[in-house]
Structure 1
Amino acid sequence: MSLQPLLDAPWIIQAHAFAAMAAFVLGVIQIAAPKGTLPHKALGAVWVALMAVIAVSSIFVRPSLNPGLPLAKWFSWIHIFTVMTIFSIALGVRLLLKSGPARKHHARPFIGIFIGGLIIAGALAFLPGRIMHDVLFGG
């Protein structure tokens, strides 16, 4: 295991990967820790910001690896997670801004992002030929 392949990658990929690692750790903490506390609210805001960084940076991963790539080829099937993450962030934040019982449902879209965006899409980052595969298993 070596971080060198990631450290040699373009900065947008580094930002994407390090934000994802931080969001995964914070997500586990958020799921396990007591809800409604000041730390839960503060860490939740940081987690939402990290997920926004991950979603936006994911748009630029392919072109950073292939400079000059036409816009039509920037996206692949995995970018469905980008769209789902953006919509889920918006829904979760909207539910948080409501009062009453609706606020309690904010966890649903955020847990969906955690499972879909961090666990499933994250696992796909370790497939052969990808930078994170090289980090974990060598080049």
Structure 2
Amino acid sequence: MAAFTPIILVHLVTAVGALLFGALALASRKGSNAHRLFGRVWVVLMLTTALVSFGIRKFGGFSAIHILSVVSILAVTASLYAAAHGRIGAHRRGMRGAYVGLAIAGIFTLLPGRRLGDLLWNAVGLA
């Protein structure tokens, strides 16, 4: 199994942080100071996760999974723009969609054959 390089560790830590802070932002009262704080931290973590992913390449090139990083950057940016222009419905849909995309990507990283998945399945003795 390949090593967890520093860039992969940054990607992993920011993704897990984004899952946590995204959940807090979604659970908090919309428009509250807590929602804004959790949301801002989530945006930084999401954008960092997506940007850092471009440094993770198999065989030196980009893969189809990098499309998700581009989509995430666009979704978060468009959602911030929507909120700044009072289009709260668009903001809500975009942020929820980006969070769901993050969660789905997280689930796929736990599949056998992926670094984190192999670590998990070997640790529980199922691989």
Larger RCO (CA within 8 A; separation ≥ 6): 1
In structure 2, stretches of 5+ residues that fail to align are none
Instruction: Write the letter of the residue equivalent to 1:15.
Output: V
Measure the CA separation in 2 of the matches of 1:20 and 1:104. 25
Identity of aligned residues (%): 33
Q: 1:1-139 alignment to 2 at 5 Å?
A: 9-62=4-57, 69=60, 73=61, 75-99=62-86, 102-116=87-101, 118-138=102-122
Residue type at the aligned position of 1:109: G
Cα distance, 1:81 vs structure 2: 0.7
Give the TM-score taking structure 1 as reference length.
0.80
1:98-117, CA deviations, whole angstroms, 9 ceiling, x for partnerless residues?
A: 13xx134311111111111x
Residue 126 of structure 1: CA displacement?
A: 1.1
RMSD: 2.0
What is the deviation of 1:96? 1.8
Q: TM-score, normalised by structure 2?
A: 0.87
Give the residue type in structure 2 aligned to 1:115: V
AA in 1 matched with 2:105: A
Give a deviation string over 1:81-134, Cα, whole Å, max 9, x none: 1111011011011012113xx134311111111111x12111111121212113
1:14-50 alpha-carbon deviations (Å, 9 max, x no partner): 0101111111111122222211110110110000000
After TM superposition, the runs of 4+ consecutive aligned structure 1 residues lying more than 4 A away are none
Q: Gaps (5+ residues) in structure 1?
A: none
Give the paired residue count: 123
